Amino acid sequence: MPRCVETSHPDVGPTDKDILSRYRHGDSSWFGQLYDRHAPGLLFFAHSLLADAALAEDLVQEAFLRLLDQDPGRLEDSVRGLLYTILRNLAVDEARKRSVRSRSYPFLVPSGVEEHPAEVSERLESLSRALHALPDDQRETILLKSYGKLTFGEIAALLGVQEPTVKSRYRYALEKLGRLLGEAQEGP
């Protein structure tokens, strides 16, 4: 038998809408692929907002399940955008009602094979710390743009603000991250 070993390639296969359409016709077998496409970004986003890994996992799970309960008409919109919208609403509700708990933050990992993995990991760790030092609105914008792969228009709709506001937040966030990372390089 021929070998076909390769790493997971979640963008191969049916589109998000196809997968949801299949689900509506009783076939949930492709749902894992939808999860693989979006779960890492969603979990990172939720963990960053809530600073609680276990709670973030619960909300990501709930977001996927609520996606399945959506009005079929709404599923014609970007599934990715809809997932982030559901998750953010859940996170905002949860943040309002939860008590103070121990806080944790997620850390980025290298996106590819690097020549100097230790050095890249160290820089990404600094970036992860800097991300958590951003104001909430700027951190949300950076995460949705960089790892949620949402457009500025989609982020504006999600956050309920004008698109120029999103672009400004993104620019301010990059500048602040640059300053924070510069300070980190200089050391105390």
Partner 1 sequence: MKPEDVESLLGSGRPPTPPAELRGRLLAQVAQRRAPTLATPHPRARLLGALTVAASILGLASTLVWLLRMSPPLQDPARAAQDTGQPFEERRIKDNVDETRPASFTWSRDGKHWAYIEALTMPTGNVQSVIVDGTKQAEYFDIRGLQFGVDGHYAYLARRTTPGYLLVRDGVPQAEYENLRAVAWSPDGKKLAFIGVKEKHTYVVVDGMRSEPFDEATSLLWSPDSSTVAYAAVINREHFVVLGTEKGEPFDEVSALTFSPDGKTLAYRAMEGSFLIVVGRTKSRECTYVGNPVFGPGGMLAYGITKDKRTWMVSGHWPKLREEPPIETFEQVGTPVFSSDGKTWAYRVRVNDKESIVVETLDRKGLEVGERFDAVGDPHLDSDPASLVYVATKGSQKYLVVGGKLTRKFSLIDRISRRPGGSAVAYRAGRYGKQLVVAGDTESPEFDEVLSGPVWNTDGTKVAFVAKLGGELWSKVMEVK
- Residues in touch with partner 1 (CB under 8 A): 1-9, 12-14, 18, 23-33, 35-36, 39-41, 43-44, 57, 60-61, 64-65, 68-69, 72-73, 106-112, 114, 120, 123-124, 127-128, 142, 146-147, 171, 174-175, 177-179, 181-182, 185
d(CA 184, CA 130): 9
Indicate the residue among 13 and 153 with the shorter CB distance to partner 1.
Answer: 13
Residue labelled with tokens 């692929």 = 33
Q: To the nearest whole angstrom, how small is the minimum distance from the Cβ of residue 154 to partner 1?
A: 18
114, 136, 178 from 24: Cα distances, Å: 42, 36, 46
Record the tokens describing residue 18, joined without a space.
């196809």
State the amino acid at position 166 in one-letter form.
Answer: V
Indicate the residue among 99 and 111 with the shorter CB distance to partner 1.
Answer: 111
Residue labelled with tokens 């021929």 = 2
Indicate the residue among 111 and 160 with the shorter CB distance to partner 1.
Answer: 111
Let me know how long the chain is.
188
Q: To the nearest whole angstrom, how small is the minimum distance from the Cβ of residue 1 to partner 1?
A: 5
